[in-house]
Amino acid sequence: MNIAILTFEGFNELDSFIAAGILNRMKPEGWNVQITCPSEQVTSMNGVTVTAQQPLEFANTADVVVFGSGIYTRDIAKDSSILDRLELDPHRQLLAAQCSGTLLLATLGYLNGVPACTDLTTKPWVIDAGVDVLNQPFNAQYNIATAGGCMASQYLATWIIAKLANNTAAASAIHYVAPVGEKEALVAKCMAVVSPFIS
Amino acid sequence: MNIAILTFEGFNELDSFIAAGILNRMKPEGWNVQITCPSEQVTSMNGVTVTAQQPLEFANTADVVVFGSGIYTRDIAKDSSILDRLELDPHRQLLAAQCSGTLLLATLGYLNGVPACTDLTTKPWVIDAGVDVLNQPFNAQYNIATAGGCMASQYLATWIIAKLANNTAAASAIHYVAPVGEKEALVAKCMAVVSPFIS
């Protein structure tokens, strides 16, 4: 199971690393979660430079593509030198987006008729792109999921694990990362949010 | 306000970046949150290489030092070539630790008589170091705070902002990162967890 966490210049650390951290709980089961970038290194919105684990093209053959978020997403949405490198297909891949990553999913045409979640800043741009924005943290339809608000990354990760492995594995991953003393409550919350979207 | 997020080889991404991401919401107020490492680059437990924003010695003059967590913390706790570079003082600094970071706070002698929070894996080692471990996500006493379970990083960040700025700023930072549709609930939760520890 190859999972590309798309991480661009100016990225939001929470939006790439919460999903990556939770999904990496599946590493013992062979899941290969990779920070995937358009250049060898990218620097976050807060000045943290990370080295790409994979080039952008890794996404094209991945089983799951998670679009992270960042402060330059509107520019990236207009940058064909980046977006033209992506050849995705929701029939063979899960496509997930966090916060402003939803704008990229919209720009690439994967949200036609699919209402979406995003953060409050990105919301007007996603609406401009012709997509209905929901006032909720998570939505999924078929193989496409979106989440809004950094900490909603936990729901994206829960959905991906529940969909590609099973509910038990998803619950176990959330249990591990949940606060001590709140583990059962957070597992129940995450499963309640995503279970309506797991067929 | 200088804030050092201590991030070591083998670090847990959630434990450094959730705190850093939330604390960086205070950047417009002049807070300077820096990923602070013992070497020029460190690689996470899942193979993500980040470039240090500051050398370890930045912590010695910082206003807040957050000990991140990772898979090599037990080795670091025995490595005087790293720990001897730290000259901290809870009388002039807030010292906070996330998960296995608590073991480093214990090793450095800052938890004498202070019960602490940590993750379930680190718990026996912290007990071996002579510190009582609590079955709760967050604890603070005077200028020292500990949290257990990756997602409890949100409580560390809330406490730091509430203590050094005010409750309104802490609530605003959590409101921004909270899931859409759950913002008021998460703000209330975070404030409820930390408020008993804010004098």
Tokens read off for B4: 């050092």
> What pLDDT score was predicted for residue B199?
78
ipTM: 0.97
pTM of the predicted model as reported, rounded to 2 decimal places: 0.97
Summarize pLDDT for A120-134 with one digit per residue, the tens.
999 999 999 999 999
Summarize pLDDT for B122-137 with one digit per residue, the tens.
999 999 999 999 999 9
Contacts of B168 (CB under 8 A, 6+ apart): none
- Provide the pLDDT confidence category of residue B84 given band limits of 50, 70 and 90: very high
Decide if B189 touches A, using CB distance below 8 A: no
The one-character DSSP state at A160 is: H
- Give whole-number Cα distances, A138 to A158, A160, A196, in Å: 11, 12, 11
Per the CB < 8 A criterion, the answer to whether B100 and B73 are in contact is yes
Q: Which residue of B has its CA nearest to A23?
A: B46
> What pLDDT score was predicted for residue A199?
78
> What pLDDT score was predicted for residue B92?
97
Asked if CATH classification 3.40.190.10 holds for the domain at A2-197, the reply, yes or no, is: no
Summarize pLDDT for A54-108 with one digit per residue, the tens.
999 999 999 999 999 999 999 999 999 999 999 999 999 999 999 999 999 999 9
User: With an 8 Å Cβ cutoff, are B35 and A21 in contact?
Assistant: no
- Could you write out the DSSP letters of every residue in B21-55? HHHGGGGGGT-EEEEEESSSEEE-TTS-EEE-SEE
Torsions phi, psi for A145 (to 5 deg): -130, 145
Contacts of A81 (CB under 8 A, 6+ apart): none
Q: Which of A104, A93, A100, A109 is nearest to A142 (CA)?
A: A93
The ranges assigned to domains in chain B are: 2-197
Is residue A10 left, alpha or beta, with left meaning phi > 0 and alpha meaning psi from -120 to 50? left
Mean pLDDT of B69-74: 97
Q: Which of A196, A70, A185, A188 is nearest to A145 (CA)?
A: A196
Summarize pLDDT for B40-56 with one digit per residue, the tens.
999 999 999 999 999 99
Mean pLDDT of A26-35: 98
H-run or E-run covering A183 = helix A183-194
Residues 82-141 of A with CB under 8 A from B: 117-120, 135-138
Using CB atoms, pick whichever of A53, A148, A151 lies closest to residue B47: A53
Across chain A, mean pLDDT equals 97
